[in-house]
Structure 1
Amino acid sequence: MMQRVATERWVVREPHPAEETLQSELGIQRLLAAALVDRGITDPEGAGEFLNPSLDSMHDPRLLPNCEEAVRILMDAREKNQRVFVHGDYDVDGVTSTAIWARALRRLGFDVLPHVPHRIKHGFGVHEDAVFEAMQQGAKVLLTCDCGSSAIEAVKRAKQFGMRVVLTDHHEFGSEVPAADAIVNPHLPDNKYPFPHLSGAGVAFKVAQRVSEECGATAQQFQRAFLDLACVGTIADVVPLHGENRVIAHFGLKVLSRTKKVGLEALMRVAQIEPGAKATSYDVAWRLGPRLNAAGRVDDAAIALQLMLTEDPEEARALAQRLDELNEERRSEEMRILEQAEEAIQELNLADEPLIMVFAEGWHRGVVGIVASRICEKYNRPALLAAVDPETGLAHGSARSPETFNLHEALMLHRELFRSCGGHARAAGFSVTSDALEEVRSALVRHAGEVLRPEDLIPTRRAIAAVTPAEVVHRSFIELERLEPLGEANPKPLFFMPRVRLLEVQPTSNAEHVRFRVEAPKPVYGIGFRSAQLFEGVRPGDTVDLLFRAAINRYNGNEYPQLILEGLRPAVE
């Protein structure tokens, strides 16, 4: 666990009157009511919809901007037996989006050629080399997924080659919108789609559903066939897990648990997810996602795409094993870059800057994004890392940011300094000439200093409620599992327990982990993973404040509530 660099600020949300209403109307305990209110859900009807997701609550795909024009173009290509070149992206969202389109269209009798770019050779977005390949392969329709919103020149070239262009994407637009024949993107200006937070896989899923319906399939048939892929892309892309994304994740995990796609089955085996076992959002985010991403990060995303498309169990096993090996390579490279980035931060005295940007030769550009996330988390400020290629004179980088800083806006304000840039508010990518790196760093540090307040840079832990030891009961903790699937904008709740007396403090067989018990009407146990230093100088009998997440410990057929320690300090009066 990386240690935080500034004194933490603990903030505890005050009780809200709606919590009592939700408790009485829904018959739930206070902790779940507090978690719902913390998510902005204050009325019983909205709470019921959140706790009981329904596929019937999904919005009509035809509400997506230009969806029907996209369907018309694709149906015309099917009637004329024209080849459709599907262009995705090299991350999990892009790979699963491409797999949804390729599998769905092939099932419907389309002539399909799927493609995902090579991160190093092509970079993010629609590369003109891919457009040229599509032309050479005889494609008459260029269909993008999880990319295309910034592909101004590539779209122009495709049109020059006589292709019709359909963009399905979820990324935000720059100052110019591509001149495609149909752009299906919930971020398109002035569109009326009710939910703007779909992943690329989510957009592909909905538009492909409409194509399937036009070919005679029902929505239910399509959803049963493709919710597993849509779920993996949605969770792995860290989009907010509420609204339609929650529905996709909830039902997609059920389909994933019993998937018949041999590629997903093989991947789950190497990730040590038992066949038929209940899949969780944790499994996707921390087991499946990293392995799929590893191909695009340190090798070729085409490996991951082929795994999602293959019908051959033997090929699937070999590809899944290869992804597992690539993930180990990625971990090793990540630790090497992290160590060097930390050294640079210390040597250049960057830790106190409002924005941290470091770059170096010899870094793998497919891994710098993960390290940027870790730097951002540790220092609680925007972090940009770039890999410099001395042969080309270019640097390719990734950026991550806390919610207090909008990366997309910052990059767009300074886009004249970049060769290319784009992304979202909290995650972005860019390329820049190496001789402009210092200028970029100075400009972005200056901008961050103008936008961020000093208090924005202090790590803040936000607990949703103060809890007494008497409230640590099985029913309250088991109810919290109804919040699953957990993820972005729907995290595992953090609770505050003030002025509690420690009765036991014991190290585990691993000296970094500590078990403890607190004074309560019934025994209340907890565990702190990698938390030994928090207990330095702490003894049984001490009164402390705790931050914790609730868990149910299941062992030998027994269940009991357990505190998962997130923070400990001497009790504050």
Structure 2
Amino acid sequence: MEFRWEIKSKADQSTVQSLSSEINVNPTLANLLVNRNVKTFQEAKDFFRPDLDKIHSPFLMKDMDKAVERLVKAIDHEEKILVYGDYDVDGTTAVALFYGFLNTVYPQVEFYIPDRYQEGYGVSERGVHYAAENGFKLIVSLDCGIKALEKVELANSLGVDFIVCDHHTPGEQLPNALAVLDPKRQDCDYPYKELSGCGVGFKLIQAFTERTGKNASHLFGLLDLVAVSIAADIVPITGENRILAHYGLERLNNNPRPGLMALILAGKGQRSPQELLENRQLLQREMLQLKSDKDIEISDIVFRIGPRINASGRLEHAKASVELLISQDIHDALRRAEVVEDVNAARKNFDENITKEAIQMIEDREQEKPYKSTVLYKEDWHKGVIGIVASRCIEQYYRPTIILTESNNKATGSARSVYDFDIYEAISECSDLLEQFGGHKYAAGLTMELDKVPAFQERFEEIVTSRIADIHTKPVLEVDDELELDQINYKFYNILRQMAPFGPGNTEPIFCANQVYAQNIKVLKDKHLKFEIVQDGQVTSPVCIAFGFATYYEMLRSKMRFNIAFEVRENTFRNTSSLQLYVKDIKFD
């Protein structure tokens, strides 16, 4: 797919030069920092040296006093507490964190995850009735509840109190809960607005610990789950999230909880959980190697850990993921991870097969006329993977995409968007055709009557056609700065590495080098390229790895000049480390 490069504007040069001098880095690195709103020595110190002592007081969050008071009351009066969470990664990690903590200090607590297919997203009537019928006096919802106005009123009428912990944007009215913890409330002065749902749950635990005088040292042990939620829910890794993610990754790399350890081992793909269970010596060796490597990053959570946690909620029931995450024993965790691996394998199979069908449907449609959007419906597609399929379709046909399937005699779907196109707004203009919808600029969910699908397809295409602009038709590659090849060395790389963890709000820097040519070109596995690049006037000729660029072989061999966009990475092979450039795109003159 062809990218449109957007090279970021140079930051204010007087600020860059001042920061460069203060912290003794070259102007290129100082420019990266200033563009990340790091402009002074103190801000740079806070950025490079995250400090848990600098996370905000939880009592700055609106209603936190009320929430803690009600939680303490429930424990003092030996009331049953139900911890209620969503079925995605943020929801399941939030439930594992809050339930796992509370269960160590109070036995009258259970957790509840709604069934994706029978109850749908968020707080359900069935969940509220379950609480009332089983004697629960308090529900604590995590990663959901901010728009559950009717369900909270139902709970109130049944004598069940509600504490909402959410991070989604509220509607015009807040639920009538005893406490509503959400930093995005308009009347909430909490300094950081971008916590994950699990992060909000963590703040409630932090507040409860402070108010009850309990030992706060255990809080660090919860941060592996918070880091997983931050990475998987794609929230900004800035401010407080950066601190929580930094220490969460430290926990993941040094002493992860058994459930995450099992998922990490499974994600390596070298040994199945069952193999490790059957060979204790092998298990010990793999665990020691994992702690020795200490190389788990945000991207590993996004691509290896998160999808496994998500799998059970997509295809079966997310309760399995929570039980894995709260497991106290590595052998029990591996047994549960084996089940999750099987479900994840099935999820991949559904994903691949449905994506093939969807792509074929798009190609068949394109023979009739060109489209600006994709809206596909097939009654037997698995509801749990249609969001993934929408993303896969965008990888091949870059345009706003909605994938629909049948569920409970309705057409239900997932929407995904392209750079800077507000798909939620486009869907809202079709609201008269919909039963319900929700989401944000880049992703949404929707439900309609089956007979409304053709009209929706037509209307949505009209809206997208009227609004789509040239900037929406190609994926954007944001390039931080131009480099000369001689700037790439270990001193430069070691400072780059300290800018991690990378993610939204602090993406891994992408650079470009212009007017280069290739030498020593090799094709790897018929798909990839390995080559060196040379630039006039520069001594350095770094090695590049270009995954999926094999079709460029002949053009590179011709010594034609090109511009190249890349990330700087370290490669270790046979105990020898060297810097390599991970190629993002190549543009020939």
Distance between the aligned counterparts of 1:101 and 1:451, measured in 2?
Answer: 44
Letter in 1 for 2:251: V
Residue 479 (structure 2) aligned to one of 452, 463, 484: 463
Residue 420 (structure 1) aligned to one of 429, 436, 441: 436
Are 1:307 and 2:302 matched, yes or no?
no
Q: Deviations over 1:456-487 (max 9, x none)?
A: 32322221111112222222123211121122
Q: Is residue 390–residue 416 contact of structure 2 (8 Å, CA) maintained in 1?
A: yes
Distance between the aligned counterparts of 2:464 and 2:40, measured in 1?
Answer: 38
Kindly tell me: are residues 40 and 260 of structure 1, through their superposed partners in 2, closer, same or farther at Cα, counting changes over 3 Å? closer
Q: Deviations over 1:291-331 (max 9, x none)?
A: 11111111211110111122244321111111112111111
1:254, distance to aligned residue in structure 2 (A): 0.8
Distance between the aligned counterparts of 1:43 and 1:249, measured in 2?
Answer: 23
2:200 aligned counterpart, secondary structure: helix
Distance between the aligned counterparts of 1:47 and 1:408, measured in 2?
Answer: 37
Q: Is residue 550–residue 564 contact of structure 1 (8 Å, CA) maintained in 2?
A: yes
Residue 9 (structure 1) aligned to one of 4, 7, 20: 4
1:205, distance to aligned residue in structure 2 (A): 0.6
Distance between the aligned counterparts of 2:369 and 2:322, measured in 1?
Answer: 39
1:439 aligned counterpart, secondary structure: helix
Q: Is residue 7–residue 481 contact of structure 2 (8 Å, CA) maintained in 1?
A: yes
Distance between the aligned counterparts of 2:580 and 2:331, measured in 1?
Answer: 42
Letter in 1 for 2:414: S
- Report matched runs for 1:52-67 at 5 Å: 52-67=49-64
- 2:283 alignment partner in structure 1: none
- 1:294 alignment partner in structure 2: 311
Are 1:497 and 2:534 matched, yes or no?
no
Residue 232 (structure 2) aligned to one of 231, 236, 260: 236
Distance between the aligned counterparts of 1:159 and 1:442, measured in 2?
Answer: 43
1:411, distance to aligned residue in structure 2 (A): 4.5
Q: Is residue 503–residue 540 contact of structure 1 (8 Å, CA) maintained in 2?
A: no
1:492 aligned counterpart, secondary structure: coil
TM-score when scaled to structure 2?
A: 0.90
Distance between the aligned counterparts of 1:312 and 1:14, measured in 2?
Answer: 51
- 1:245 alignment partner in structure 2: 241
Are 1:134 and 2:152 matched, yes or no?
no
Distance between the aligned counterparts of 2:371 and 2:169, measured in 1?
Answer: 28
Letter in 1 for 2:357: Q
2:234 aligned counterpart, secondary structure: coil
1:436 aligned counterpart, secondary structure: helix
- 2:532 alignment partner in structure 1: 517
Distance between the aligned counterparts of 1:99 and 1:42, measured in 2?
Answer: 38
2:325 aligned counterpart, secondary structure: helix
Residue 557 (structure 2) aligned to one of 513, 530, 539: 539
2:390 aligned counterpart, secondary structure: helix
Q: Is residue 78–residue 110 contact of structure 1 (8 Å, CA) maintained in 2?
A: no
Kindly tell me: are residues 446 and 152 of structure 1, through their superposed partners in 2, closer, same or farther at Cα, counting changes over 3 Å? farther
Letter in 1 for 2:71: L
- 2:271 alignment partner in structure 1: none
- Report matched runs for 1:132-531 at 5 Å: 132-219=129-216, 221-259=217-255, 261-272=257-268, 274-276=289-291, 277-278=293-294, 279-349=296-366, 353-389=371-407, 392-412=408-428, 414-508=430-524, 510-519=525-534, 520-531=538-549
1:260, distance to aligned residue in structure 2 (A): 5.6
2:446 aligned counterpart, secondary structure: strand
| Worse-superposed segment, 90-99 or 260-269 | 260-269
Residue 572 (structure 2) aligned to one of 543, 554, 558: 554
1:222, distance to aligned residue in structure 2 (A): 3.8
2:119 aligned counterpart, secondary structure: coil
| Worse-superposed segment, 466-475 or 132-141 | 466-475
| Worse-superposed segment, 18-27 or 240-249 | 18-27
Q: Is residue 167–residue 182 contact of structure 2 (8 Å, CA) maintained in 1?
A: yes
Q: Is residue 261–residue 330 contact of structure 2 (8 Å, CA) maintained in 1?
A: no
1:143, distance to aligned residue in structure 2 (A): 1.1
Q: Is residue 394–residue 431 contact of structure 1 (8 Å, CA) maintained in 2?
A: yes
Q: Is residue 212–residue 222 contact of structure 1 (8 Å, CA) maintained in 2?
A: no
Letter in 1 for 2:472: D
Q: Please, what is the CA RMSD of the aligned residues? A: 2.2
1:124, distance to aligned residue in structure 2 (A): 0.8
Distance between the aligned counterparts of 1:190 and 1:125, measured in 2?
Answer: 23
Letter in 1 for 2:75: R
Distance between the aligned counterparts of 2:578 and 2:384, measured in 1?
Answer: 42
| Worse-superposed segment, 555-564 or 245-254 | 555-564
Letter in 1 for 2:530: R
TM-score when scaled to structure 1?
A: 0.92
1:145, distance to aligned residue in structure 2 (A): 0.2
Distance between the aligned counterparts of 2:369 and 2:498, measured in 1?
Answer: 40
Q: Is residue 421–residue 472 contact of structure 2 (8 Å, CA) maintained in 1?
A: no
What are structure 2's unaligned runs of at least 5 residues?
269-286
Kindly tell me: are residues 355 and 502 of structure 1, through their superposed partners in 2, closer, same or farther at Cα, counting changes over 3 Å? same
Are 1:111 and 2:126 matched, yes or no?
no
What are structure 1's unaligned runs of at least 5 residues?
none
Distance between the aligned counterparts of 1:134 and 1:382, measured in 2?
Answer: 40
Q: Is residue 474–residue 552 contact of structure 1 (8 Å, CA) maintained in 2?
A: no
Distance between the aligned counterparts of 1:439 and 1:304, measured in 2?
Answer: 39
Q: Is residue 372–residue 464 contact of structure 2 (8 Å, CA) maintained in 1?
A: yes
Distance between the aligned counterparts of 1:446 and 1:198, measured in 2?
Answer: 36
Q: Deviations over 1:151-208 (max 9, x none)?
A: 1221121111111111101112234432222111112223222211111001111112
Letter in 1 for 2:8: R
Letter in 1 for 2:386: V
1:540, distance to aligned residue in structure 2 (A): 5.1
Q: Is residue 404–residue 452 contact of structure 1 (8 Å, CA) maintained in 2?
A: no
Q: Is residue 171–residue 423 contact of structure 1 (8 Å, CA) maintained in 2?
A: no
Distance between the aligned counterparts of 1:267 and 1:351, measured in 2?
Answer: 46
1:366 aligned counterpart, secondary structure: helix
Kindly tell me: are residues 404 and 420 of structure 1, through their superposed partners in 2, closer, same or farther at Cα, counting changes over 3 Å? same
Following TM superposition, where does structure 1 have runs of at least 4 consecutive aligned residues deviating by more than 6 angstroms?
A: none
1:361 aligned counterpart, secondary structure: coil
Distance between the aligned counterparts of 1:386 and 1:177, measured in 2?
Answer: 30
Kindly tell me: are residues 120 and 257 of structure 1, through their superposed partners in 2, closer, same or farther at Cα, counting changes over 3 Å? same
Kindly tell me: are residues 243 and 565 of structure 1, through their superposed partners in 2, closer, same or farther at Cα, counting changes over 3 Å? same
Letter in 2 for 1:367: V
- 2:284 alignment partner in structure 1: none
Letter in 1 for 2:88: D
Q: Deviations over 1:29-71 (max 9, x none)?
A: 3443333233343444333322221112211111112111111
Kindly tell me: are residues 170 and 253 of structure 1, through their superposed partners in 2, closer, same or farther at Cα, counting changes over 3 Å? same
Q: Is residue 62–residue 187 contact of structure 2 (8 Å, CA) maintained in 1?
A: no
Letter in 1 for 2:6: V
1:148 aligned counterpart, secondary structure: coil
Q: Is residue 166–residue 180 contact of structure 1 (8 Å, CA) maintained in 2?
A: yes
Distance between the aligned counterparts of 1:406 and 1:43, measured in 2?
Answer: 35
Kindly tell me: are residues 536 and 174 of structure 1, through their superposed partners in 2, closer, same or farther at Cα, counting changes over 3 Å? farther
Distance between the aligned counterparts of 1:559 and 1:282, measured in 2?
Answer: 21
2:405 aligned counterpart, secondary structure: strand
Kindly tell me: are residues 447 and 211 of structure 1, through their superposed partners in 2, closer, same or farther at Cα, counting changes over 3 Å? farther
- 2:584 alignment partner in structure 1: 566
Letter in 2 for 1:432: M
Q: Is residue 522–residue 529 contact of structure 2 (8 Å, CA) maintained in 1?
A: yes
1:431 aligned counterpart, secondary structure: strand
